[in-house]
Chains A and B, each alone.
Chain A
């Protein structure tokens, strides 16, 4: 069954340190995409980064990078030089191109950045 697993319900990190948020996925599809979204306390969903299953290079967007390990079916988000404004919920999601583009989400990780 298609599934996204985020095993860290909450994390506390010191400001300016790097953070890795874990995400593993389960799919039998060959073509899929992986996303990360940020949800601050205000509630909106903010797109961070996207990785296609056929992309050979790991995706990067500013301080965000996606550590894509296809054989392990993991798509961890790395935030470099964390800032207080990074405190939020983070969701990993998967686009299943073989299933009419259904998109499912993990349960999220709540990240707290400490001053």
Chain B
């Protein structure tokens, strides 16, 4: 039973390019959270999705950032026209929503580290 899979683990982009980060949730998990972590800082909530529906995107910047979780395939966090300030680790976590208890409420992927040159 694979955990939460994020790819790529490391991504380098030049300013103005697009970054696409993918997250496949744990089997049986219907909900996905995305967080951003700047160096030596905490995890900042970005967006929370279920299949084909954004539940809460209050942490997403209004421009250049978008997220989706299609019926088939992974959740994708897309950053258009990247700037140096977008350099961070982006963590995805998944949740079963039903039958949550303790450790299984939120399972994290290993993170995707974006570097913008």
| Total count of chain B residues near the partner, CB < 8 A | 26
Q: Is A107 an interface residue (CB 8 A)?
A: yes
CA distance A104 to B93 in the complex (A): 12
- Judged by DSSP, the binding face of B is strand
Chain A binding surface SS class: strand
Nearest B residue to A97 by beta-carbon distance?
B100
Q: How many chain A residues touch the partner (CB < 8 A)?
A: 25
Determine if B42 is an interface residue (Cβ-Cβ < 8 Å).
Answer: yes
Chain B residues near A (Cβ < 8 Å) = 31, 33, 35, 40-45, 48, 55-56, 89, 91, 93, 95, 97, 101-103, 105-108, 110-111
Which residues of chain A have a CB within 8 Å of any CB of chain B?
A: 6, 33, 35, 37, 43-45, 47, 49-50, 59, 91, 93, 95, 99-108, 110
